[in-house]
Structure 1
């Protein structure tokens, strides 16, 4: 046995857990961990400009890599700043371990400098929170933290590390790395589900994060083809099913196609694959009709029946369920179902085809998405903030490969840029583009410096209408002619990007976007493309109405 300081023991566990990247803002309360990472041969420490950026990067890195993300921050203010990324990881079921420095053990309970009681503070934001009181227990408790983060329904775990504990030395007792055992479905339950799908006259599958997490899109394609069912993706899980496939019916979220919503509300059977039925997915919990029966498959038993009561709940890893179902299923031949699938996909194609509408004074978002669809490679990874710009992205961009979209189901602003950096760290060979509004971009744009310092060439598209557009839209709907607090003013983002050492482009009309994109790609540096849009058009549906009105008038 060897004696290690607490800080070195923490890093030893990280090494045994195969951690390759960690994101942080350094702080004096956990310098013992930072020092132990000095010139570490296999773990790269990426320091950020804000803890929110660090937690977003770690969360997106986890999604993109399939590994447990790691972020670190100091006590009090640093820990509080991490919270936005931890909340995102909780709602997105992303495996994440947050290591947070804490006040010295003898000072606890005295309102010491930056003291926060973390186990209660983070208790409802995370799967588990633990404070390690002695260096001897670091291997035991930190390995458990990683196991908790990735097992069952994955999520974030907070580990509090008292400053003085990290400087103690103790014998390092090596622990076995626990690998999660995914639950397998009972064959009888799978057979019952298949019978119900076959007997249903109007079935539909809703695919969620359980599909994307297990990379099961190909299995789901075979499942849909075999059983002759349409597939819908839940909120911000676009890449759970190839959007151009004939069985794809569309997505659920803000601005979903009304015909699709009506179809689901009138369905006699919904098969939910790894979705927690969020408020946005369910259209404020109104999605399933009274006559609709539900078969719900989820890795977490606590998620089954949490929103809607199923007639059949199956606790299982989604991939394992699909594999077993394909072993047992017989092809369903039904002309009525085939026609329903074709009709739904045709409606989706019509709804999601971006017109090549160009504008001279501003950039028309319809035309922008038309060009993006033609220009982006199929394996490009897109990340995004929340914001009214997202309505065009969700409606018109077609995701045909899994692991190509990373976005927060929590609706966190400021997510797009740091998420793109985290995704690019995981996949340096792929084109990674973030989409943000001007409001969200300003919340984490300081991470451009991180991208420059670590030579991470992401492309950030900033849709600038000089306002908090989503809130303005709600404001004008609910409190007409009483606009307050949503108007913004901005510097030239392209010029700001250059000051950071990035490539910068400002686009004021549609025809200039593709040349700007090519210049950004050719620069080999982090790049910002600022797109100036019409502040009077706040949604994709409004844009459509404006174009139809103009054509009618002409």
Structure 2
């Protein structure tokens, strides 16, 4: 007769479930409400990365999920600790990133009594998570954890929140571990494949749009092979530039903020839009203006890993329920029977993209176009590039080429403060891989304290801070709407290079274009976390945009 599993405290059971689900790293800030789990981590082969703020910790877990495709894991304590992590949950929810947030809670007997740091989990996180649950019985930890991993990874990925009452984690029970649950990938039926082929044969001006989550190397290869066989022009959703090798002859650029006008016109003129992994949302379609909503727009093929209600603005002609890998497997051998009529157009769009992404030098003493050209030449093909939100990201989006092995970790929900934690997490996950983070001065100081985490953990990202002493994106809008009336956008900044050195990192300051190359080489070779502060020429806000140019434009309106 089989023997019952040995009795274990809840904290040990929880960490054993993480091991069973292949978790090797968790991020967090310690709290008294989950001491039993921390104690179990002491003897477990699971690395606990101790962060300096729960927002930074949760961003690291989110970036881990983006990079690996497996749920990132974060631990926080109750109340303020948990709510500090909410920003990363919103990012994971909008960016379709698998993430699990474990939150230590007040003891079960203290609930609903306005206890110290008590928190209503569902009320706080319900709108930004796929699932929110509290584990009140230690014997059910394996069940809840297995479900959490499956929900976070299935369909359209996203965040899951699990509450851990403090006293539940110290209960000792006998329960077996739970095996990981399967994650369905969907598929493309033969009839649907035939319908897709018929739509392609009837088209004259098709466009492919890639985005969303659940992209694997196999998915990328399959979709690329299909697109190349049909000479289909491939665009990507906002901050999804690593979904196809940017050197592919069918790649025509990114949509969203900072996109090329030529590409926007291409979408307006399309008679067939094939969306794989994403829907035509507001960012990719310029606030839903690129696609008509009166029924005169292109036919739409929608490939998603999760069933969604029929689109109201842009109903799909063909809907396929498949993750990108399943779709790529189905279409990679699909071939046209005759030359496609849009091949010349695709070549023209490709040429337009190459022209758009070629840096055009400015006359600034520190020319950022040249800086990013130098950076792009120096990065290996498998580099990880991270950034947060703001005008500083436009240079990284437009002038860096994301090749077959390059990964882009950036928040599609426009969340500032993301780039530094993401870079630290990427450097921890793969120490042999080059990681570079592009930060604005405003963005850096939202989570720059995680540079201490990088130094402590021996992680060696290179951080490039563009310092123009302003919240650049808002200043640009301000100058366009209220020229000359600067209010609420100016910044007083520290010496970023000295700040980096105070953390124990390598720090340099660059004020002239010719100084950047040598500073980059020293930073790449220093063997530890490094920061290069770029003293942006006064008035520079974006490529081709200065305060003076905006005021000149406004004077002619």
Bin the TM-score by the shorter chain. Answer: over 0.9
Q: Which residue of 1 aligns with 2:555?
A: none
Q: Which of these residues, 219, 223, 233, is aligned with residue 220 of structure 1?
A: 223
Given the alignment of the two structures, is residue 30 of structure 1 paired with residue 34 of structure 2, yes or no? yes
Structure 2: stretches of 5+ with no match in the other structure: 553-557
Q: Which residue of 2 aligns with 1:282?
A: 285
Given the alignment of the two structures, is residue 310 of structure 1 paired with residue 316 of structure 2, yes or no? yes
Shift of residue 402, structure 1, vs aligned partner: 4.5
Given the alignment of the two structures, is residue 322 of structure 1 paired with residue 338 of structure 2, yes or no? no
Q: Distance in 1 between matches of 2:271 and 2:417?
A: 40
SS of residue matched to 1:538: strand
Contact 1:63–1:213, Cα closer than 8 Å, also in 2: no
SS of residue matched to 1:240: coil
Q: TM-score, normalised by structure 2?
A: 0.94
Shift of residue 326, structure 1, vs aligned partner: 2.7
Given the alignment of the two structures, is residue 523 of structure 1 paired with residue 526 of structure 2, yes or no? yes
Q: Distance in 2 between matches of 1:35 and 1:317?
A: 38
Shift of residue 120, structure 1, vs aligned partner: 2.1
Q: Distance in 1 between matches of 2:362 and 2:122?
A: 53
Contact 2:279–2:302, Cα closer than 8 Å, also in 1: no
Write out per-residue CA displacement over residues 91-115 of structure 1, whole angstroms, 9 at most, x where no aligned residue. Answer: 1111111100011111111110011
Given the alignment of the two structures, is residue 343 of structure 1 paired with residue 348 of structure 2, yes or no? yes
Q: Which residue of 1 aligns with 2:357?
A: 352
SS of residue matched to 2:488: coil
Structure 1: stretches of 5+ with no match in the other structure: 550-554
SS of residue matched to 2:372: helix
Q: Which residue of 2 aligns with 1:121?
A: 124
Give runs of ≥4 in structure 1 deviating > 6 Å. 543-546
Write out per-residue CA displacement over residues 374-400 of structure 1, whole angstroms, 9 at most, x where no aligned residue. Answer: 221222110001011111221111112
Q: Distance in 2 between matches of 1:37 and 1:201?
A: 58
Q: Which of these residues, 5, 17, 21, is aligned with residue 21 of structure 2?
A: 17
Alignment RMSD (CA, Å) = 1.8
Q: Distance in 2 between matches of 1:459 and 1:117?
A: 39
Q: Which residue of 2 aligns with 1:99?
A: 102
Shift of residue 303, structure 1, vs aligned partner: 6.7
Write out per-residue CA displacement over residues 342-384 of structure 1, whole angstroms, 9 at most, x where no aligned residue. Answer: 1000110111101344643xx2221211211222122211000
331 and 111 in structure 1: CA distance in 2 versus 1, 3 angstrom threshold: farther
Shift of residue 178, structure 1, vs aligned partner: 0.9
Q: TM-score, normalised by structure 1?
A: 0.95
Q: Distance in 2 between matches of 1:518 and 1:303?
A: 51
Shift of residue 276, structure 1, vs aligned partner: 3.2
Deviates more, 1:425-434 or 1:206-215: 206-215
SS of residue matched to 2:42: coil
Q: Which residue of 2 aligns with 1:204?
A: 207
Contact 1:211–1:240, Cα closer than 8 Å, also in 2: no
Q: Distance in 2 between matches of 1:331 and 1:30?
A: 62
Contact 1:226–1:332, Cα closer than 8 Å, also in 2: no
332 and 503 in structure 1: CA distance in 2 versus 1, 3 angstrom threshold: farther
Contact 1:57–1:418, Cα closer than 8 Å, also in 2: yes
Q: Distance in 2 between matches of 1:482 and 1:388?
A: 20
Q: Distance in 1 between matches of 2:83 and 2:218?
A: 33
Q: Distance in 1 between matches of 2:310 and 2:92?
A: 20
Q: Which residue of 1 aligns with 2:374?
A: 371
Q: Distance in 1 between matches of 2:135 and 2:313?
A: 36
Q: Distance in 2 between matches of 1:358 and 1:35?
A: 58
Deviates more, 1:224-233 or 1:278-287: 278-287
Contact 2:65–2:99, Cα closer than 8 Å, also in 1: yes
Q: Which of these residues, 167, 175, 179, is aligned with residue 164 of structure 1?
A: 167
Q: Distance in 2 between matches of 1:328 and 1:395?
A: 32
Q: Distance in 1 between matches of 2:255 and 2:133?
A: 36
Shift of residue 535, structure 1, vs aligned partner: 3.7
Write out per-residue CA displacement over residues 146-204 of structure 1, whole angstroms, 9 at most, x where no aligned residue. Answer: 11111111111000001111111111222232121211121211210111012101001
211 and 269 in structure 1: CA distance in 2 versus 1, 3 angstrom threshold: farther
Deviates more, 1:322-331 or 1:4-13: 322-331
Summarize the alignment of residues 53-452 of structure 1 with structure 2, pairs less than 5 Å apart: 53-210=56-213, 212-213=215-216, 215-289=218-292, 290-302=296-308, 305=311, 308-334=314-340, 336-357=341-362, 359-360=364-365, 363-452=366-455
Shift of residue 531, structure 1, vs aligned partner: 0.6
Contact 1:214–1:318, Cα closer than 8 Å, also in 2: no
Q: Distance in 2 between matches of 1:278 and 1:17?
A: 33
Shift of residue 545, structure 1, vs aligned partner: 11
Aligned pair count reads 543
